[in-house]
Structure 1
Amino acid sequence: MRDLLHASWQRWRYGRWRSLYRQQTERDLQRLARAVEQLPWQPRISVVVPIFNPQSDHLVAMIESVRRQVYARWELCLVDDASDARHVREILRRYADLDERILRVSRPVNGHICAASNSGLALASGEYLALLDHDDLLAPHALAMVVKYLNRHPQTRLLYSDEDKVSVSGSFHSPHFKPDWDPELILQTNYFSHLGVFETDLVREVGGFREGLEGSQDHDLVLRCVRRAGEQAVTHIPHVLYHWRTTPQSTAGAADRKPYAPAAGLTAVGEHLAALGRAATVRPARAGFPFMSLEYPLPAPAPPVLVLIDAYEDEKELAACALHLLERTAYPRYRIVGLGRHGCRTRLPAPGRVDFFEVNGRVALAAMMNEAVARSDEAFVCLLDTRTRVGEPNWLARLVSHAAIGETGLAGARLCGPRGRIIAAGMVGTGSGDAVMARPGRKAEGLGYFGLNRLTRQVTFLPGLGVVASRSAFLQAGGIPEHADGWIARGLGLSARMNDRGLRNLLVGASTLTLLGHPRGRVAKPQGRAACASTADRFYNPNLALDARDASFRLGFPPGSARSTSRGPAACRVVRGGIGVHRAHHGDGQPAVSRSRSSRVCRDMHSTTRPEPVRDS
């Protein structure tokens, strides 16, 4: 009953959100049409639709959603994959006679979706290809927004948008507001999905749709196209442009409607990793976890790890923390070094495996950490503090295996409280010089927002607890900014420096650490070009809520909130500019932070030179 009530509430909430912020009027669409007419590049977009026995009303609604596009340079390529329902042929014939932009072809034998899609590809004459299912809907401004983004980002060869679902009754629900391109997340779930738009020549270059991978053919196509075109060719449009219909036959209703899809997904991802030269074991979805998972092997032999424990405030707890790590961590080669103000070597367990580094009170702790790393022989470094506790023995192995991937800067664990409540799953930059804790789920065991609570994904910032980096990357980045005071600021500063070097910071969803007590620590200004960026976090969708406490992955009221922020004693912020952190204990208040990227969503629709207010369908 609770789940039903929650689902009903979420549908009402999204309906309210759409009516307030994304329900465009005819006047809005007319303004958009005029703006698009002024764009210098107006490519033809071929909308390819494989068709097999849809309901007549759903088929008609799909075609009409294309005909209602405010951008007129499209062609609709309808491929009847040997449907045995008479109404399909009649509807396709009628619309082809009605509109010369509608092309149709009938296959004599059912070949399934890949063969039918290739027939549509052969029919297409547009510069770009948009994929549409036979019972789904395009928002009326979908293709116009695609063209606007193509003009704005001329290097683009692949685009994807946000999406939602439409029920049989016609109500919209379950919006999926996505991050920008994430090469790690795409290996576990095809979040690219709908609306997917591809340069037609690129699709032909990679060989079109691969037969035998039905059910994951789009996922496979995305991976092959990105390998050919490069990640810089992918553009995300943060607008709901696609409505995925939930029917008993579609995977929008339930993933198990197509039991052949998981095996096809494993093949697509496995071959993609092999082509990249990355060794990994790809595991299928399982009960309670409807996503693929990847396990990267440790280098052989396992590289030694220096575990640095901040004991500056809790030297009495250092021995207990070190003993806990020694008893609970299965990793074969690591050495623990505590950093504090007073020597306590005699009280430490396991001499030779646990050591102490005395910090001069006049010298910043961050500088001592950097010195400890520089003087060490270990290949990797892990940052903890005395309140850290581990739940499962492979936490360090998982972090090291991800940090060992060549393009990784930091690999970080999720941080939870003693009762399993998420404290941080990465951090989100706000675009106004601040950052907040990312909480895509409330409890550690929950999937959270479209699985992001437990999936491994790229983040801009990680807290400075439970993070691992290779020693070489750590030193080449310049280490921790020397004036970073506290684990939050240390993580932000080090993350920013990794970003500056073009390295990726990964939140490893399968690795979880527990923090005893509340998060603490002052926030200092991170060092690095990325620290003072004026744009908000590209891995957090601007339609989602961002307030003074956290990035909650809930709907933003309004999207891209730009309201004033009330900060009491429970929140902390940078006092010298740059990126800071707002923290507050859990409560009912929802103070908001200023978000500069609100312009990306709320002013994106009507101007060719600068964003304007937008209302999504």
Structure 2
Amino acid sequence: FSILLSIKDHQKETLSKAILGLKNQIYPHWELTILSNPSNKDTFEDAFTLICAGDPRCKRIYYQIQDDENAALNSALERCDGDFFIHLQPNQILREHALYLVATAINQHPEVDAIYTDEDKLDQNNQRCSPFFKPDWNPDMFLSQNLFSGLGAFRTDVVKDASGFSKTADVDHNWDLALRIIEKIPASHIRHVPHICVHIKQIQEINKSKPDKDQRYQTLIAHFMRLHIPVEILQTGNQYWHIRFPIPDPQPLVSIIIPTKDQVQLLKVCLESIDYKTTYSNYEILVVNNQSTDPEALAYYDDIKQKEYITLLDYDQPFNYAAINNTAVKHANGDVLIFLNDDTKVISPHWLEELVSHALRKEIGAVGAMLYFPDDSIQHAGIILNPEIIAGHAFYLQPQAFRGQNDRVQYAQNYSAVTAACMAVEKSKFLAVSGFDEENLTIAYNDIDFCLKLVEAGYYNLWTPYAEVYHHESVSRGYDQDIGKHERLQKEANYLRTRWKNKINNDPAYHPNLKGYPLFSLVDPPGVEKPWKDFIAGQH
């Protein structure tokens, strides 16, 4: 490993700990280059001499970093001889097993070009806090969170092929470098080490020098310009940017499918919210009547089917959510399908633009929305798979302003599954995986199964906080509490467990150190093995 430690402003104690963290590595094959301003020479030399004296793996370069930091970084990069390159800051302290775990990942996956690890923070009292147990590779999360922050290792030849650090000063140079590398390599060449390998010391001076929101904006603009994707990057009320992907002109037709039975007041609120709120213009609505008998509902159906953009379909069979929606798709004229429960109410005017723009991306399968209960608590912010619960809604019942683990409520990201209470998918992708399973999953888990079929077919599913909808959840037909419903639910749960055992046991959007209930709470003891323990024992 070639490790570059760049120093602008630092505290001697933190710098010493960063160097000691490297010196204490149980994996010995590394070289360290420390890049520092000449103005730090007197303070820095004492720490360097004390820790690195006589160690040929350590060297330092003095450079006027403030004049051109990226040029200094690239100059140091050219001198790196290791197979993999790591850039550290003076407040990043490696744990003793860090390089060993990264090296193990490289040996197990020799094709790998980029590796990232988990991290936590050290507070002012040097107490560990704020662990970030990251998901496996999550390309849409990466557009908001630099997953390679903390400890990221890149194949040195790939870094140099990407031309090293940007020569543009107004970008986040670490995130920009990671983006340019990711643009050049397949997702299969990216690995996540699910262990905390680095502590990040909270230092006010260093926090002030972190990339600001404008730098992140410029970094994203440069990324999408290189990819020739004409996105809109929109301001939000937090530190992240809302990336809206393009929609063709003319707009593709969207088919909104809404099953219903006798819940005329719910359906009326749903349809009126679509009509009054939605800014996307090219859509049709297919209302599927499942054996309604209420005279008021039947009269309302007669009224709404007079509207040119609404089609009323009759499904005269016992309730089977999967079959109802599969049948409706056969009558849908749109290129994009929206599955929508009748107990929903649109909040954000651009909800369709948001869902459709993602659904049209070639790499994306199903797209889910941010769903709230009527009291504004979170009902759905993506679905987590876990053997304790099979599937659970992320951040369920948390308040609307809740930020989530490492802000995961505040930006779009990939999940293994999203709920079909409000789901978008291209019709061609829906048909390619044979839609919902109406034989084995008539009511429950058919949306989970459908999403996992899309993953199996090579797509990423996505959840976005920028399409907001109220959802009463199971008001339409009630919960599965009587004996017959409970037996059916167990049968469907067992089918899903058998069909998708590996996915449920190892959700790439979650982490083995996090519980199934409550979600995002820590497992004690940790759920991942510590392979470096055997390595250390073998050295003694």
Work out whether the TM-score is over 0.5: yes
Unmatched tracts of structure 1, length 5 or more:
1-44, 252-256, 561-600
Aligned match of 2:284: 335
Relative to structure 2, which stretch is displaced further, 330-339 or 403-412?
330-339
Name the amino acid aligned to 2:229.
R
Q: Residue 556 of structure 1 aligns to which amino acid in structure 2?
A: V
C-alpha separation in 2, matches of 1:165 and 1:468: 38
Aligned to 1:543: 513
Corresponding residue for 1:258? 209
| Equivalent residues of 2:305, 2:312 under 8 A apart | no
Q: Which residue of 2 aligns with 1:269?
A: 220
Q: Is the 8 A contact 2:320 2:442 kept in 1?
A: no
Contact 1:189 1:292 in 2 (8 A): no
1:165 matched to 2:92: no
Equivalent of 2:255 in 306, 321, 332: 306
What is the 5 A alignment of 1:477-492?
Answer: 477-483=433-439, 488-492=444-448
Task: Give runs of aligned pairs for residues 360-379 of structure 1, distance below 5 A.
Answer: 360-361=316-317, 364-379=320-335
Q: Shift of residue 309 of structure 1? A: 0.9
Of the structure 1 ranges 322-331 and 196-205, higher mean CA displacement relative to structure 2 is found in 322-331
Pick closer, same or farther for the CA change 1:438–1:483 going to 2, 3 Å.
farther
Match of 2:87 among 108, 122, 131: 131
Is it true that 1:154 corresponds to 2:81 in the alignment? Answer: no
Equivalents in 1 of 2:440, 2:209: separation in Å? Answer: 51
SS at match of 1:98: coil
Match of 2:271 among 302, 311, 322: 322
Residues 336-392 of structure 1: CA deviation (Å, up to 9, x unaligned): 222233363315375222232111225844223213212322111111122111112
Provide Cα deviations, 1:464-497, integer angstroms capped at 9, x if missing partner: 1110111111111211111365765231122122
CA contact (8 A) 1:463 1:489 kept: no
2:263 is the alignment partner of 1:294: no
2:295 aligns to what?
none
Provide the rounded CA distance (Å) in 2 between the counterparts of 1:173 and 1:122. 36
Q: Check 1:110–1:351 CA distance in 2 against 1; reply closer, same or farther (3 A cut).
A: closer
1:102-121 superposed matches below 5 A: 102-107=58-63, 110-121=66-77
Q: Secondary structure at the match of 2:220?
A: helix
Q: Does 1:556 align with 2:526?
A: no
2:359, 2:424 within 8 Å by CA — same for their partners in 1? Answer: yes
Secondary structure of 2:352's partner?
Answer: helix
Hey, what's the Cα distance between the residues in 1 that align with 2:56 and 2:460? Answer: 48
Task: Name the SS for the 1:83 alignment partner.
Answer: helix
User: Secondary structure of 1:223's match?
Assistant: helix
The separation in 1 between residues aligned to 2:423 and 2:65, in whole angstroms, is 55
* Secondary structure at 2:446 match in 1: helix
- Residue 487 and residue 191 in structure 1: after superposition, are their counterparts in 2 closer, same or farther (change >3 A)? farther
SS of match in other structure, 1:143 = helix
Q: Match for residue 410 of structure 2?
A: 454
Please state if 1:245 is matched with 2:201. Answer: yes
Q: Which amino acid aligns with 1:353?
A: Y
**Residue identity opposite 2:18 in structure 1:** M
Query: What residue in structure 2 maps to residue 27 of structure 1?
Result: none
- How far 1:142 moved relative to its partner? 0.7
1:337 and 1:356 in contact (8 A); partners too: yes
Q: Which of the numbers 505, 527, 552 marks the counterpart of 2:461?
A: 505
The answer to whether the 8 Å contact 2:171/2:218 transfers is no
1:395 matched to 2:351: yes
1:157 shift after superposition: 1.0
| Structure 2 equivalent of residue 385 of structure 1 | 341
TM-superposed CA distance for 1:68, in Å, is: 0.7
In the superposition, relative to structure 1, how do residues 440 and 542 fare at CA in structure 2: closer, same or farther (>3 Å)? farther
For residues 64 and 129 of structure 1, what CA distance do their matches in structure 2 show?
19
Cα deviation, residue 166, structure 1 = 1.3
Q: How high is the sequence identity, in percent, across the aligned residues?
A: 24
TM-score by length of 2: 0.88
Structure 1 residues 512 and 529: CA distance shift in structure 2, 3 A: farther
8 Å contact kept, 1:213–1:261: no
Q: Is the 8 A contact 1:214 1:261 kept in 2?
A: no
User: TM-score when scaled to structure 1?
Assistant: 0.78
Q: How many residues matched? A: 516
User: 2:361 corresponds to which residue?
Assistant: 405
Q: Name which of 471, 486, 502 aligns with 1:533.
A: 502
